[in-house]
A = this chain, B = another copy of it.
Amino acid sequence: MHKYIPILDWGRRYNTMALSNDLVAALIVTIMLIPQSLAYALLAGLPPEAGLYASILPIILYAIFGTSRALAVGPVAVVSLLTATAIGNVAQAGTAGYAIAALTLAFLSGSFLVLMGVLRLGFLANFLSHPVIAGFITASGILIATSQIKHILGISAEGHTLPEVFLSLFHNLSQANMLTASIGIAVMAFLFWVRKGAKPFLIRLGLPARLSDFGAKAGPVLAVFVSTLAVFGFDLISKGVAVVGEVPQSLPPLTMPDLSPELVSSLLVPAILISVIGFVESISVAQTLAARKRQRIDPDQELIGLGAANLGAAFTGGFPVTGGFSRSVVNYDAGAETPAAGIFTAIGLAVAAVTITPIIFFLPKATLAATIIVAVLSLVDFSILSKTWNYSKADFAAVSITMLVTLTLGVEIGVTSGVAVSILVHLYKTSRPHMAIVGQVPNSEHFRNILRHDVETHSDILTLRVDESLYFANARYLEDQLYDLAAQRPNLKHVILMCPAVNAIDMSALHSLEEINERLALSGIKFHLSEVKGPVMDRLLNVDFPKHISGKIYLSQHQAITDLNREPKSDQTFSRRASDQYDPA
């Protein structure tokens, strides 16, 4: 029971010390989350309050079901972008259908995460290789930043890919509002400075380090406050500055996702992508923070925690959420000791939802856009390109294709092609395993590559060592190689496949071994195996392979060579009961 509801575990041991630490952390995170939640709702194409709602119940549900002590769940940049793309295909932004589709997406994503957790399918997330994620996040960061330029300039622009957005921006550039642009650029400049310069500046002013740090975290709130005040004080709305506008002053409402078959079927694939990408991002943050205190993260339980959070978002007017990097680090650094910090943050945001919304009316969209741009540009990191280039060209191909496709054709196809390329590249690499023809090191029981060592061979015996497990991607390659080698050697009588590095033989490879056996037999060559590992041999025995093989299966290569050399060259009454030779112990 405790395993599935971690709160039962840490809840019992909760004390005043932890309470005070959690309260401080919650205060700092709440202040940070208010502008962030509003901004990511804007990015997802939803009304700003959806961002607040998506941060309240989801945080509480994660605190109950999740295993990380410090993870802060809520809307994050990449998931919000994916949300905008997915819903943009089924509804018009700003309509009621759009907001309901966001609920459906959160519901599907939550259900899929819970299902993966219950079925312990967390390994599916492994399909997203590191280069694909890195390339995708960088490309998404660029896409997100460009998508916000329209708010900074006060113009309209459309599209989900870089060329579309740029073309659209360029087309409407003449309508730019200078006042809006001034606010946007000023806030961006301020926020960039806050990131690096605010803390040292406050310390130089004489504030204690901890308070300075807090001050720096409050930078975005200050930007929101000042720019809102400016709009209100100077009546900038009449001068064309776009603001957030009317926001209902309420706690998260009870909402129902639309589960009609056509909406579900068109959002299913995006929901799966969002789930997997969100999970990978979240688990990586959770593990980093857990490692610092030697705590444990259970990936399958994390799936359930994140799934519950998304289901919560679906029923309380939110949209898909996941564990965010920056907010979690802030939560951890601020001293959060237990998930109770998350619960207090949720309470703080709920208070905000019922109090500050009248002020938010005057908040310029340009300020929110600036917040987003500054946040996502920290995601953009091209170093993965040079790193993979140096390390492995295959991985470089995966990164660059992911980036290029994401930027030019869109996020969903981008990440999908990245996954496809990774798998393709992996299969290609293992499809041509390293093989060596080996001979005997004189006066020893060792066998080595004939190209690298001075070894003894026999013209009628060929020994090939394969340095890889045999499976469908390389089974036919092995066949081709063996047939070629046999065709080149007219005196050949015996082929020995030496398997010390073969950890597994799947059905395709078994079929290939049977074909090899049969085809070599057609040209009068006997096929033997040596040094087969125990578990592999067990499977071969299951299907009576040792009885079908024309030659024998030897425990050691030395035994094989000794036996085959002893055999009189004209003797054709070779034992077929190869399994006699093998000692499975």
Binding site for B on A (CB under 8 A): 123, 125-131, 283-284, 287-288, 290-297, 299, 387-388, 390-392, 394-395, 398, 422-423, 426-432, 434, 467-469, 471-477, 479-480, 483-484, 486-487, 490, 501, 503-504, 506-508, 510-512, 515, 518-520, 522-523, 539, 542-543
Residues of B within 8 A of A490 (CB): 294
Q: Of B288, B473, B506, which is within 8 A of A127 by CB?
A: B473
Residues of B within 8 A of A128 (CB): 472
What is the minimal beta-carbon distance from A218 to any residue of chain B, in angstroms? 27
Given A297-B483, A487-B295: A472 and B129 interface contact (C-beta under 8 Å) = yes
Given A126-B472, A423-B427: A291 and B131 interface contact (C-beta under 8 Å) = no
- The CA-CA distance from A375 to B507 in the complex, in Å, is 26
A427 and B473 form a contact (CB under 8 A) = no
A519 and B288 form a contact (CB under 8 A) = yes
Which 7 A/B pairs are nearest by Cβ-Cβ distance? A291-B519, A129-B472, A395-B507, A130-B508, A130-B511, A129-B508, A292-B522
- The CA-CA distance from A295 to B477 in the complex, in Å, is 17
Q: Of B392, B484, B508, which is within 8 A of A506 by CB?
A: B392
- The CA-CA distance from A471 to B426 in the complex, in Å, is 8
- The CA-CA distance from A288 to B501 in the complex, in Å, is 28
Residues of B within 8 A of A506 (CB): 129, 392, 394-395, 426
> Closest residue of chain B to A433, judged by CB?
B503
What is the minimal beta-carbon distance from A387 to any residue of chain B, in angstroms? 6
- The CA-CA distance from A515 to B296 in the complex, in Å, is 15
> Closest residue of chain B to A535, judged by CB?
B434
What is the minimal beta-carbon distance from A534 to any residue of chain B, in angstroms? 12
B391 and A130 form a contact (CB under 8 A) = no
Given A395-B507, A510-B391: A130 and B475 interface contact (C-beta under 8 Å) = yes
A542 and B390 form a contact (CB under 8 A) = yes
- The CA-CA distance from A292 to B518 in the complex, in Å, is 10
What is the minimal beta-carbon distance from A516 to any residue of chain B, in angstroms? 9
User: Could you jot down 17 A-B contacts, CB within 8 Å?
Assistant: A123-B431, A123-B473, A126-B473, A126-B474, A130-B472, A130-B508, A284-B515, A291-B518, A291-B519, A388-B507, A391-B510, A391-B542, A392-B506, A392-B539, A426-B471, A434-B503, A501-B501
B432 and A522 form a contact (CB under 8 A) = no
A472 and B508 form a contact (CB under 8 A) = no
> Closest residue of chain B to A507, judged by CB?
B395
Q: Of B131, B293, B476, which is within 8 A of A507 by CB?
A: B131
- The CA-CA distance from A490 to B293 in the complex, in Å, is 11
Residues of B within 8 A of A518 (CB): 288, 291
> Closest residue of chain B to A131, judged by CB?
B507
Residues of B within 8 A of A430 (CB): 469
- The CA-CA distance from A117 to B434 in the complex, in Å, is 23
B390 and A543 form a contact (CB under 8 A) = yes
Q: Of B129, B292, B427, B515, which is within 8 A of A288 by CB?
A: B515
Residues of B within 8 A of A297 (CB): 480, 483
Given A475-B130, A515-B288, A543-B390: A123 and B432 interface contact (C-beta under 8 Å) = yes
